[in-house]
Chains A and B, each alone.
Chain A
Amino acid sequence: AQKVTQAQTEISVVEKEDVTLDCVYETRDTTYYLFWYKQPPSGELVFLIRRNSFDEQNEISGRYSWNFQKSTSSFNFTITASQVVDSAVYFCALISWGKLQFGAGTQVVVTP
């Protein structure tokens, strides 16, 4: 069985602060993909990043960066210099055999 845990329910920051979202996953599969999605108040899930289980290289894309550590089954996500438009619920997800397993989500509130 697969499981994705996002222990942080809500994070509140002031604009320009960095935000790090934690994600821990469980899977027996050797090949899998991990994702981060953003859900603004409108409800649509917006794809942010994807990482496969064979690639532990951490990257930066604009203000987003991620830290994938297979040894600890963690896939953390950081928003640098947060902006008010980053306010949303962020979901970590794991896919195997076509099924996306989501975490409970972390509400990020960025205040001016």
Chain B
Amino acid sequence: KAGVTQTPRYLIKTRGQQVTLSCSPISGHRSVSWYQQTPGQGLQFLFEYFSETQRNKGNFPGRFSGRQFSNSRSEMNVSTLELGDSALYLCASSPDQETQYFGPGTRLLVL
């Protein structure tokens, strides 16, 4: 089976812009979660989607949003980008709510 894929892999944006990141889960996995990784805060949970519904949400401002499509693919959107949003964004898919399998991540740089 193909692993979790994320696009794009690298992205450079300027403050105030918005960005959309995409994640395709492992075939058959219905749960998709998003995480932000920064040197200062480490790995932090953003949100989880299951069957097109947001099931869990972390402590991030409303500028961070997501959605999941009927084929389980997920997108994450960040509006009004700030310098502090520069991070590695990781997507994970899961078949069973326990073991999460991660994609290669999208490295976002906000200038």
Pair from one complex: yes
Name B1-58 residues within 8 Å CB distance of A: 31, 33, 35, 42-43, 45, 48, 50, 55-56, 58
A55 interface residue per 8 A CB criterion: no
Contact B55 A98 (CB under 8 A): yes
Q: Chain B 57-99, CB within 8 Å of chain A: the 1/0 string?
A: 0100000000000000000000000000000101010100111
Contact B90 A99 (CB under 8 A): no
Contact A47 B101 (CB under 8 A): yes
- From A97, which residue of chain B is reached at the shortest CB distance? B56
Contact B45 A44 (CB under 8 A): no
Main secondary structure of the interface of B (DSSP, over half): strand
In the complex, which residues of chain A have a beta carbon less than 8 angstroms from the beta carbon of B48?
Answer: 98-99
In the complex, which residues of chain A have a beta carbon less than 8 angstroms from the beta carbon of B56?
Answer: 97-99
In the complex, which residues of chain A have a beta carbon less than 8 angstroms from the beta carbon of B88?
Answer: 43
Main secondary structure of the interface of A (DSSP, over half): strand
Q: How large is the interface on A (under 10, 10 to 19, 20 to 34, 35 or more residues)?
A: 20 to 34
Q: How far is the CA of A42 from the CA of B102 in the complex (A)?
A: 12
In the complex, which residues of chain A have a beta carbon less than 8 angstroms from the beta carbon of B104?
Answer: 42-44
Contact B102 A47 (CB under 8 A): yes
Contact A47 B42 (CB under 8 A): no
**Smallest beta-carbon distance B39→chain A, Å:** 11
Contact A101 B45 (CB under 8 A): yes
- From B104, which residue of chain A is reached at the shortest CB distance? A44
28 example contacts (A-B, Cβ-Cβ < 8 A) are as follows A33-B98, A33-B99, A42-B104, A43-B88, A43-B90, A44-B102, A44-B104, A44-B105, A45-B92, A45-B102, A46-B102, A47-B102, A50-B98, A50-B99, A91-B43, A95-B98, A98-B33, A98-B48, A98-B50, A98-B94, A98-B97, A99-B33, A99-B48, A99-B56, A100-B45, A100-B92, A102-B42, A104-B42
B contact residues vs A (CB 8 Å cutoff): 31, 33, 35, 42-43, 45, 48, 50, 55-56, 58, 88, 90, 92, 94, 97-105, 107
A contact residues vs B (CB 8 Å cutoff): 33, 35, 37, 42-47, 50, 52, 91, 95, 97-102, 104-105
